[in-house]
Structure formats: structure tokens, C-alpha cells
Chain A
Amino acid sequence: MEHIRMPKVENVRLLDRVSSRKATLGTLYLTATHVIFVENASETRKETWVLHSQISSIEKQATTATGCHPLLIRCKNFQVIQLIIPQERDCHDVYISLIRLARPVKYEELYCFSFNPKLDKEEQERGWKLVDLNEEYNRMGIPNNYWQISDVNRDYGVCDSYPTEVYVPKSATAHIIVGSSKFRSRRRFPALSYYCKDNNASICRSSQPLSGFSARCLEDELMLQAIRKTNPESDFLYVVDTRPKLNAMANRAAGKGYENEDNYSNIKFQFIGIENIHVMRSSLQKMLEVCELKSPSMSDFLWGLENSGWLKHIKAIMDAGIFIAKAVAEEGVSVLVHCSDGWDRTAQVCSVASLLLDPYYRTMKGFMVLIEKDWVSFGHKFNHRYGNLDGDPKEISPVIDQFIECVWQLMEQFPCAFEFNERFLIHVQHHIYSCQFGNFLCNSQKERQELKIQERTYSLWAHLWKNRADYLNPLYRLDHSQTQGTLRPQIAPCIFLYKFWSGMYNRFEKGMHPRQSVTDYLMAVKEETQQLEEELEVLGERLASLQKVQLNDNEVKSKQQDQNKELGRSTSNISLANTPQEYNNNLKSFPSRSPSQGDEEDSALILTQDNLKSSDPDLSANSDQESGVEDLSCRSPSSGGCLPSEDSGKDSDEAVFLTI
């Protein structure tokens, strides 16, 4: 490819993020889609694959004392890779190549257009049909007496960032919708997001009204009235503005703003202060700086975490979702949600509320539907927010990351409520940035249609669905109380304990995570249980027939012996061994050396990382080998993250990580 100045560099060192003195020597390759580092050590040849689309920044660092040239690559999936390249020219070439490769200018350059999972046309089509929004609205009970599908946006004529099929109140005529759309930012008129058939309460979404200081719009007022009347039991409608009040007021000066309670009949207006995308971007930035600290103290970490404000923002989004879910489920009141354009905070809050309200969205399929509904179809600007194409860096913000974290925080509080596990969330996040599948390309449905995404690329949902066994939560049971009805989380931070999600933000620092996975263990137990159930049936039948016929069947016997071998789950694969970390990395705190003692002797004895860790296997960020093509999301717990069972018997806690 023309952008690759240097397809291969040898004698590159990949630094360990935890211990910077440890490095592995290998060869760096640049391909059209990936950066690949292959370790030289012949017995392992470990490979680290990074998709160009995952690269968020490349930094040339100061030349080292030994004349080498470090290159720091930060990824959108929170991987950080530090390479040391011997020659200045090579380093520069790699740098320049990557700068260009990481910032494609045309959609056609993205990986999904070259990614080929070897599926035929029919399978590709079926994949895209896995999630069907019409089906979803039908599931909610719509259309019905109050709600109908409107074709007013047929050719994106009213709003180009909305889908063509929009659900609106039956009583809202095309005239009202178009009138209302003219009074809303980017013509994003109020449309249905979630309908609760038990009590007719619903969640609608829109952008801010163009009210300025005094403007009003009859059609918009009628639109809100129509929404209120779809819920005959309730005599008012909540209008939730998810922005801080100050931001909303500032918008008035620009001819935008928020609803005046006096102009709309029977609305209750409510601000919920979620900060804007710029605040969120810088908050994540600060938190990642904390994650990158080399051996931080507890105070450094907690202080940095607090200072980043990240968990505060997560809580604000969650609280907004809780407020709306409560209004719908407990008060039976419908809610209209908006922020400025109604595609960031509004998407977050609507989807958190839906997730709390409806157990369906807590299933794997339902979660895919939820993202399609509240994010993809309603024009969340995936391209801008996640920087798929080279663009304005100020447009980038971790909006959906925050939603995904809200889900994780809920999973921590309600361990039985979700059909999917943490790995599922991490892989969804990964693919929002990977551009390996077409689902999240572009900024709107309209653009995706123009690009013929469904013909030219594959759907992530089909891929995840195919591998769903890896993503199941073993504690999920359809008839469990946590899978019924609304989730009602607590609010106080020490009660709803918002935790730092190391599984996501330190995803590649495997050494920081629990070394044994309860989820994987329980999945293995469940799998074995299923085998046992089957065998029990077979044995029962055989016993019956044997007792009847009293035949000596050699075949049966030999078969039984085979099964004997199979039985007995090798749960030992979870007894992951590990290696010590740096428990004494702070050299300054080292013992005073008495003058009487020679330096030579000292250096031989001192517990530096070098001699303490010399025998340690690689625990580094890169033990997660990602080939991107097929390896990543379909990795089964038994083949990837875990130890092959034959190793666990030996007392070889060193060999283990090398085998991964």
C-alpha cells in the first residue's frame, strides 16, 4: 500500500508496560490493516496484532541514552504499546506510515471493506437481519391504538439523521411532525424510543427546541400534547433535559434552549446535569493518565480517579436513567428526553432507562437490539465520536463507552440480571472502534445506506451471536427474580458502589485482573452438567435395555470406556498460576548501604527488578494476542485465556503464561 513506507523493521523491542526494563526483541510489520509485532524467541513467536483503526495516537519519544528511538502507540481499546526502534530513519518511517494509516480519509479504506469472514451472500444477509427494529417495536406492542409508524421521513426528507421509519403518536399528523421538526435542532423531532405496554407510559426522544428566549411553536406544543395523550392514565409528561441548566441557558442565546413550562400544557420540566462531550473526553483522558502511571501509590490512584471525574459522570448518566425508569415504571408517567442534538446524552440516558425497565434488553439479543435502536438508528455519530475517519478531534468523545460502563456497573450490582458477561461488553466496545464490521460506520442510517454497508460488509451481531457461548453469564436464569421486571439500583455512591473498571481500562494488563475467573469456572461446570445430563439419559436407556435383553454387547462396553475418559471436567484449567509482580520497584526505598560494603557485592544482592524478575514470564500488555481477523471475539475460554490442563499439575507456575 502506498502509505506504508516501511513494511518490516527488525530488532525492535517491545517494552513491558508494567516493568519498563523488560523488553522482548522481535520484528515489526506494517500491513494494510494491522501493525504486527512478532517476538524473536523461537519457542513462542508470540504475536501482537493491532488494527490501524484502533490506534488513537502515536508519539515519538525522546531518544534514549543508548541512541534508540521509542515509539508510543495508544489504542482506543486502551492498549498501550511502547516500541523501541534502533534506527532513527526506520522509526520516523514507521511513525509517518502509522500516522497516515491510523487516520483514513475514505470509508473504503476501513477494515470492514477488506475483512472477509468467508461467509456466503446468504449468510451475510441473514447476519444483517438478526436484529430487526420493526420486530422490536412489535415486541413492545406497537403499533397500537396510540402509536403508529410514520413514513414522514421516508427519503430522509424531514430529518437526515433519523431513520426512515419513526414511531409517533397516532394523533400526530404529518403537519404536526414537520412543524415540530422545524422547531428542533437538526430537525430531530420527538419520536418513540421505548413503550411500556403494562401502563402505556413511554420514553420519547428529540433534540432541544429552538426556543431562544421567547419563541414558541404550536406544532411542537401539539406534538408534546399528543405524546402525553398516548398515556391516558397520566395527566402530565416529564420533559427531561439531560444538560446542566447553565449549558441549556447558554443555548438560548443561540436561538436554542429548552421548553418553557408555561407554553406547553401539563409538562414537568427537569434538568439532569450530564456534562457535554468535551468534558467527557477530557475526563477519560485524565483517567487514562492515571491508568498509565507507573506503579502509582494508592493515593495517586484514588486521587487521580476522583480528579478525573469519570465515575461522577458515570453516576450522572446512571442517575438520569434511574430517574426516567422510575417515572415510567413507578409513576406511570411518560418522558420526553433531549439534550442539545439528542444523539449523545439522550442516547445514553434512553438506553440506560430501557435496560433498567425491560429485562429483554438485558439478554444478549436484546442488548444488540437496544444498541441498534437507541444508537445506530437514531443517528449517533459513530464516525465522529470514535474517529473512524480522520476528522475534527473535538468531535471525539467516549459516549458509548460510558453507556457500556453503566451496563457493567449494573452487572456488578445485579450479578444475575444479565444474560451476557463482561467479556461481551468488552468485545462490543472493541468492535465499535475496530471498523471490522459495518454496523457502526458513518454518522447516520442515511450515510450507511448510501455506502451500501449491508452488501459490502458484515454484521458484528451475527459474529457475536455465533460465538455466544463465550459471552454467557452462567448465573443468568430466565426464571430468576433479577431477570424479572425493573431493576431498582440504589443511588448513594457508597451503596451503589461505583467501581473502577480495570477489566476495560487496564484490559491489557492481565496481571492486574483476578487470576481465576468465576465466570469461566461456572461456565465449565454448566457445560459439564449438560454432558452429565445427556450421559445420564444414555446410561438409563442402556440399563433398561440390558436388563431387558441381558445381552453382552462388546461395543457398548468399549463405548462406555471412552466416555469414562471424557467424564471429569478438567476444571484445573482455571487454576491459573501466575508470577510475582514488582513488589519492590521503588529503588529509593532500598536499604541504606553501609559504607563498609562494596558496591559490587551490593549489586549482586540487591533485589532489583532485573534479578528478581529475570525469570519471570511475560505478563505484559501483549499477552492478549489479537489477530483481529477471527481470533478475538471467538476465543473460547478454554483455548485462550486459560491454562492448558496438563500444565496445572506440575508445580511450574512459570511456564504458564508463556503457553498463552
Chain B
Amino acid sequence: MEFAELIKTPRVDNVVLHRPFYPAVEGTLCLTGHHLILSSRRQDDAEELWLLHSNIDSIEKRFVGSLGTIIIKCKDLRIIQLDIPGMEECLNIASSIEALSTLDSVTLMYPFFYRPMFEVVEDGWRSFLPEQEFELLSSVTDEWRLSCINKEFSVCPSYPPVVIVPKSIDDEALRKVAMFRHGSRFPVLSYYHKKNGMVMMRSSQPLTGTNGRRCKEDEKLINATLRAGKRGYIIDTRSLNVAQQARAKGGGFEQEAHYPQWRRIHKSIERFNILQESLIKLVEACNDQSHNMDRWLSKLEASNWLTHIKEILTAACLAAQCIDREGASVLVHGTEGTDSTLQVTSLAQIILDPRCRTIRGFESLVVREWLQAGHPFQQRCAQSAYSNSKQKWEAPVFLLFLDCVWQILRQFPCSFEFSEHFLIMLFEHTYASQFGTFLGNNENERSKLKLQQKTMSLWSWVNRPQELSKYKNPLFEANSLVIWPSVAPQSLQLWEGVFLRWNRSSKFLDEAYEEMVTLIEYNKQLKAKVNALRRKLAELETDDRMQENL
């Protein structure tokens, strides 16, 4: 298919762009296969807007006489308005954008066409390999092994080809366990706590069904992670009620009788459309600029967004607490083990492991616990808060995770190597990107799409020094401790950087940030100067002494 077929009008002059807090810009609108471009013709400060079609969540059109207006609502939550002279042009543009922003085939997406203009220093596709991760693990414990059982994605379609499992469990047993777990997602290692050797595993629900089926290999597998005489915790991310209902559909939970060394705790984290609805309501509240305080608070409350944040954070803290404070190993799962499970396991690692609070470590966490662990990004992030087409598998699961990270970052502003901008950048790229990183729903799909060969990795771009510097937290001072966030409602806040980003000017807050950077930079410069002078003085003094001795 040619994109040209979809572009009915490639170019319109005298289009006016309206954005909140910016003066209107008049210019020429161009449509390409992947971008909507508006460039002002003024020579002095030529302004250009480049918008990826895939970033467009929904469009509305209105007409006043022959002047058409298109309102474009984006997945990054921004809303822009284009005034287009001429009804026909306007209609053409609207239908072209609609078609281009809802392409069915992944291979037509921009990452397959994007030609990077930068030099690749490090191939991001090879930056975070499970083998490297295993090497790190092997240096502290030899109780685990790397299994290639899923090499052809034959055992579990949503798992990566290699996974880390207890050494004492062979591939044959794994195959049996896979049969006993939803979507074949057998328990694998998620995190090893060096401090006390406790581990966090993740999986999907066991297929116990109504008649209480059991699987000896499954029991053996997870017991293999326990020290002699020690007990572990199973954190089920569903309420007991939901977990019990799952039995009717063949799912279920670990029965105490079969897992006597494990204590099960149910935490209720919402899923799918409930989360999507919540996002829609929240964004609606943030975009409503009526001046009434009560309405704002009740809308914020009714969106339940912060309730989800609190639930997810609480479950993650609990998992971390079991590992660090109780000295117990933990298994986390919900139903499929691809959403709330990953929220909990990844947040728990941020709390426990200082490495995950560095840029590199956080990237590695996203790769391990989200991409390789098979979070279906393509399904979850196809649409955002403005979309009319309500697909049941859409959900802002990853955005909620990022929001939780932001909440911890806000409580520990000096403990993270990255700043809020880094999280916002990741949010944007999960919904629309020139990079292939977040395409597909799992490693299996990604390998079929040959993303490594055909697209560029986000990490290749981000990890260049000039790009990285944008995301560094100037306050960062490595903190080797476990950080326990507060989950009290008083401690949780709306993430302004994402949800109020486009409908207010952040000028004063940006200025404060710059001021902070200036203070710290000046301090660093002075330190360097003082050290240089000291060295020089020391040299001179040694010279003196040598002359004296002569």
C-alpha cells in the first residue's frame, strides 16, 4: 500500500495553528506518510510543528462557513487546533489524518521508515541482554540457571527465549509447570536481593480450576527458592473474591494445603477498562478549566486514578517489605502475569535496588520487567485518553507504573539519577515513537517483525551523552539504601508534569529547575577550580622542598 493513496490533500496554505499558551501560528500544512507538519512562513522565527500520525488519538472537525477547524487530540494528552480555509481541503485533511493515524499493520508504522540522523554509538537492541543479567547474578549466587527452554517461543509465547530459573529444576519439569500456569507463564526469577539472598519470582495464575488441580513440579519449583525452614509469600494482585471467581474459568490460586510453606496475600489492583476509564476521567477533569474548586476535587476523586496509584504502590511496598524486612522470598502474580504483576515486581525493585534508580538500571528494568516479560505494549498503548474506539485490552498500565515511579521520585528527590523528564519521555515513546522498542506485544512478535534489523532502538538514541544529559537529575547522590515511600493519601499527588502539561504554563516551575541546575553547576565548577589550584600549590611546594634539599 502506498501512503499517497491515503493522502487526499498533501498541502494546504494559510492554516492557523492554535495551542494553549502560544500565539497562533499561520503557515503551510503538509501531510506525509507519517507526519503532520506545519511550518510558518515567517523568515525571522520560522516555527515548525511535527506531529506523528501515530500520536493522534482522535480528531474532531467543525465548520463555520467555509472555514474548517480540526481539533486534534494526541496520545501524549496535548490538544491542538488547526483552522483550515476551504471546506473541501479541511475534509480531505481530516479524513487523511484519520486514515493515517489508524493504520492496521505494524509494519507500516514510522519506526520501519525512520532513518536516524545520528551516529549510533551503542546498539540499544544489544544493551540489555538476559545473558548479561545472568552474569551479574552468577557473581553472587550459583543457585540459578539460564534456561533456553523457550528458544523458539515454543513453551510460552509471551516469554523471552531465555529465562532464569532455579538450578534444581530441569527443563522437563518446567514444561510441566508451564502447562499448569495461565498462558504457560511459569514462575521465573524477577529479582535477587543481594543483601539477604531472598528472591522475587513472577508468573501467571495457576490453573487449579474448581476441582483444585495441583502440579507437583510447580510446588517443587517455587519451594526451590526457599531456604531451609524459611517461608515465602505469594502476593496475588487480585482480591480474594476475584481470585476465587477465576477458578470457574480454569484459573485460580495456590491452595494452602499444597503450598504449606507459602502465605498468600491478596492485594486488589484494577485492570483493563477500569484503568482506561480512570485515565479518561482524569484527563477530562484536568482539561476542564471551570473555576470551581469543589468540582475539581470531586472529579479528581471520581477518576480514581490516585486510588490505583495507591493500590499499586502499596502492593509493591508490601512485596519489598516481605523480601527486605521479613527475609522471605516472594512470588507475585495476578491472572495473566503481564500487567499488575509487572507493576508490582518492577516497583519493588526500585524500592529495593539502588541500581534501578540509575538511568541505565531503570532502562534495564523496563527491558527486563516489561518488554522481555511480555507486557503487551501494542495492545495496551494503541489508544489513549481521547479515543472513541474502546478496545477492551487498552489500559494505561505502564503509565500508572511511571506515575508510581514519579511519586517515589518526588518523595526521594535526591535518590534517582534521572529526572521527571526521563519518565515523561518514556510515556511518550510507548504511545508514539520513531523507534521500534515498544512495538509488538512480546519478544516473539518482535522477533517475527525483525525489529532489531529493521528499526532503531530507543536506547540507541537516548544513551548518547548529549541526549542523556537532558534526563539527568541534578540532585542525584547515590543512595545505597532501601527507600520506603509513603502511601498515605496525603503523600500522593497528581502528576502535573503529564496531566497538566499542556493546559498551563510551567514557566515558573521551569525557571526554578534552571535555577537549581545553575546552583549545582556553579558549585561543581568551583570545586574543580579549587582542586586544580591545590594541586598546583602542592607541586610548587614539593619543588621548593626539593630545591632546599639540594
Q: Which of B149-157, B158-166, B297-305 contacts A (4 or more CB under 8 A)?
A: B297-305
Contact B326 A480 (CB under 8 A): no
Q: Is A31 an interface residue (CB 8 A)?
A: no
Report yes or no: A497 in contact with B494, Cβ–Cβ below 8 A: yes
B42 at the A interface (CB under 8 A) = no
Is A493 interfacial (CB-CB < 8 Å)? yes
* Chain A positions 597 through 617: 1 when the CB is less than 8 Å from some CB of chain B, otherwise 0: 100000001110000100100
**Known contacts A542-B537, A607-B322; A552 and B414 CB within 8 A of each other:** no
B415 engages A589 (CB within 8 Å)? no
A260 within 8 A of B: no
A482-B508, A494-B500 as given contacts; A583 in contact with B318, CB under 8 Å: yes
Contact between chains at B533 and A540 (CB < 8 Å): yes
Question: B508-550: which residues lie under 8 A (CB-CB) from chain A?
Answer: 508-509, 511-512, 515-516, 519-520, 522-523, 526-527, 529-530, 533-534, 536-538, 540-541, 544-545, 547-548
B490 adjacent to A512 (CB under 8 Å): yes
B519→A522 contact, CB < 8 A: yes
Flag if A525 contacts B411 (CB, 8 Å). Answer: no
Which residues in B have their C-beta under 8 angstroms from that of A301? 489-490
The answer to whether A514 has its CB under 8 Å from any CB of chain B is yes
A244 contacts chain B at the CB level, 8 A cutoff: no
**A555 vs chain B, min Cβ distance (A):** 12
Which residues from chain A contact B317 at a C-beta distance below 8 Å? Answer: 580-581, 583
How close is A290's CB to chain B, nearest CB, in angstroms?
Answer: 9
Question: Given the interface contacts A518-B475, A607-B233, does A580 sit within 8 Å of B294 by beta carbon?
Answer: no
| A495-B503, A651-B195 given; A512·B289 CB < 8 A | no
A495 touches B411 (CB 8 A): no
Binary interface encoding of chain A residues 482-497 relative to chain B, with 1 for a CB under 8 A from any of its CBs, else 0: 1000000011111101
Instruction: Say which residue of A309, A525, A575, A589 sits within 8 Å of B523 (CB atoms).
Output: A525
Q: Given A298-B310, A521-B475: A567 and B530 within 8 A (CB)? A: yes
Q: Which of A413, A416, A546 contacts B541 (CB 8 A)?
A: A546
| Nearest chain A CB to B221 CB, angstrom units | 21
- Complex-state Cα separation, A653 to B411, whole angstroms: 16
Is A236 in contact with chain B by the CB < 8 A criterion?
A: no
Interface membership of A145, Cβ < 8 A = no
Contacts A516-B413, A546-B540, A589-B266; is A499 near B493 (CB within 8 Å)? Answer: yes
Name the B residues within 8 Å of A311 (CB-CB): 293, 297
In Å, the complex CA distance between A522 and B332 comes to 39
Are the C-beta atoms of A532 and B527 separated by less than 8 Å?
yes
Establish whether residues B291 and A493, one from each chain, have CB atoms under 8 Å apart when the complex forms. Answer: yes
Q: Does B484 contact A (CB under 8 A)?
A: yes
Bound state CA distance, A475 and B529, in angstroms? 24
A575 touches B479 (CB 8 A): yes
Q: Which residues of B contact A305 (CB under 8 A)?
A: 297
Q: Is A536 an interface residue (CB 8 A)?
A: yes
Give the residues from 259 to 284 in chain A that come closer than 8 angstroms, CB to CB, to chain B. none
Output the least CB separation between B545 and chain A (Å): 6
A584's nearest neighbour on chain B, judged by CB, is B318
Give Cα A651 to B193, complex, Å.
Answer: 14
Known: A494-B289, A512-B486, A594-B255. A502 touches B296 (CB 8 A): no
At the interface, yes or no: A427 with Cβ under 8 Å from chain B?
A: no
Contacting residues, chain B, for A477 (C-beta < 8 A): 515
B290, B298, B325, B483 interface centre (most CB from chain A within 10 Å): B325
Question: How many A residues have CB within 8 A of the partner chain?
Answer: 98
- Chain A neighbourhood of B544, CB < 8 A: 546, 550-552
Q: How far is the CB of B349 from chain A (nearest CB, A)?
A: 15
Which residues of the other chain, B, contact A546 by a CB distance below 8 angstroms? 537, 540-541, 544
Residues of B within 8 A of A512 (CB): 486, 488, 490-491
Q: Contacts A543-B533, A574-B414 known; A415 to B493 CB distance under 8 Å? A: no
Contact call B264/A591, Cβ cutoff below 8 A: yes
Residues of A within 8 A of B285 (CB): 494
Chain A neighbourhood of B14, CB < 8 A: none
What is the CB-to-nearest-CB distance from A542 to chain B, in angstroms, rounded to a whole number?
6
Q: Are B286 and A415 in contact (CB under 8 A)?
A: no
Question: B257-295 CB contact bits vs A (8 Å, 1 = yes)?
Answer: 100100111111000000000000000011111111110
Asked if A117 lies at the interface with its beta carbon under 8 angstroms from chain B, I say no
Say how far A556's CB is from chain B's closest CB, in angstroms: 8
Residues of chain A within 8 A (CB-CB) of B545 are: 552
Instruction: List A contacts of B233 (CB < 8 A).
Output: 607
Per-residue 0/1 for B301-336: is the Cβ within 8 Å of any A Cβ (1 yes, 0 no)?
Answer: 100101101100011011011101110000000000
Residue of A nearest to B266 (CB): A591
Measured between alpha carbons, how far is A526 from B529 in the docked complex, in Å? Answer: 16
Q: Which B residues lie within 8 Å of A564 (CB)?
A: 534
Please name all residues of chain A whose beta carbon is closer than 8 Å to the beta carbon of B482 when the two chains form the complex: 577, 653
> Could you tell me the distance between the alpha carbons of A585 and B255 in the complex, rounded to whole angstroms?
23
Residues of chain B with a CB closer than 8 A to A597's CB: 256-257, 260
Q: Is there an interface contact between A298 and B412, defined as CB atoms closer than 8 Å? A: no
B503 touches A494 (CB 8 A): yes
Total chain B interface residues with beta-carbon distance under 8 A? 98
* Chain B residues positioned under 8 Å from A551 (CB to CB): 544
Alpha-carbon separation in the docked complex, A521 to B264 (Å): 42
Q: Interface digits, A198-220 against B, CB 8 Å rule (1 contact, 0 not)?
A: 00000000000000000000000
User: How many whole Å from B391's CB to the nearest CB in chain A?
Assistant: 27
How near does chain B come to A476, taking the closest CB pair, in angstroms?
9
CB-contact partner of A575 in B414, B512, B540, under 8 A = B414
Complexed CA–CA distance, A211 and B218 (Å):
86
Is A312 at the interface (CB under 8 A from chain B)? yes
- Per-residue B-contact encoding for A22-34, CB less than 8 Å = 1, 0 else: 0000000000000
Whether A137 sits at the interface, judged by CB under 8 Å, is no
Q: Which residues of B contact A515 (CB under 8 A)?
A: 411-412, 483
Q: How far is the CB of A257 from chain B (nearest CB, A)?
A: 28
Kindly identify, within residues 288 to 323 of chain A, every residue whose CB is under 8 Å from any CB belonging to chain B: 291, 295-303, 305-306, 309, 311-312, 315
The answer to whether B314 touches A536, judged by C-beta atoms less than 8 angstroms apart, is: no
* Mask: chain B, 200-244; 1 = CB below 8 Å from A; 0 = not: 000000000000000000000000000000010100000110000
In the bound complex, residues from chain B placing their C-beta under 8 Å from that of A499 are 493
B483-505 vs A, Cβ < 8 Å mask (1 yes, 0 no): 11011111111101000100111
In the docked arrangement, what's the CA distance between A155 and B475, Å? 57
Asked if B480 is at the interface of the complex by the 8 Å CB criterion, the answer is yes
**Contact (Cβ within 8 A) A591 B540:** no
**Cβ of B247: which chain A residues have Cβ within 8 Å of it?**
none
A149 to B500, CA, bound (A): 48
Contact B256 A300 (CB under 8 A): no
Residues A501-542 near B (CB distance < 8 A): 502, 506, 509, 511-516, 518, 521-522, 525-526, 528-529, 532-533, 535-536, 539-540, 542
Q: Is the CB of B489 within 8 A of A300?
A: yes
Q: B412 touches which one: A297, A514, A593 (CB < 8 A)? A: A514
Chain A residue numbers with a CB within 8 Å of B268 are 589
Which chain B residue has the least Cβ–Cβ distance from A526?
A: B519
Known A-B contacts: A298-B309, A580-B321, A612-B325. Give 9 more (CB < 8 A).
Answer: A302-B298, A516-B413, A521-B475, A581-B486, A589-B268, A596-B257, A607-B263, A612-B321, A651-B481
B interface residues with partner A (beta carbon < 8 Å): 195, 231, 233, 239-240, 255-257, 260, 263-268, 285-294, 296-298, 300-301, 304, 306-307, 309-310, 314-315, 317-318, 320-322, 324-326, 410-415, 475, 477, 479-484, 486-494, 496, 500, 503-505, 508-509, 511-512, 515-516, 519-520, 522-523, 526-527, 529-530, 533-534, 536-538, 540-541, 544-545, 547-548
4 closest A-B pairs by CB: A301-B489, A415-B512, A302-B301, A306-B297
17 A–B contacts from the bound complex (CB under 8 Å): A302-B306, A311-B297, A416-B511, A474-B519, A482-B511, A494-B296, A495-B289, A515-B412, A518-B516, A526-B519, A528-B523, A543-B540, A546-B541, A547-B540, A552-B545, A574-B477, A590-B265
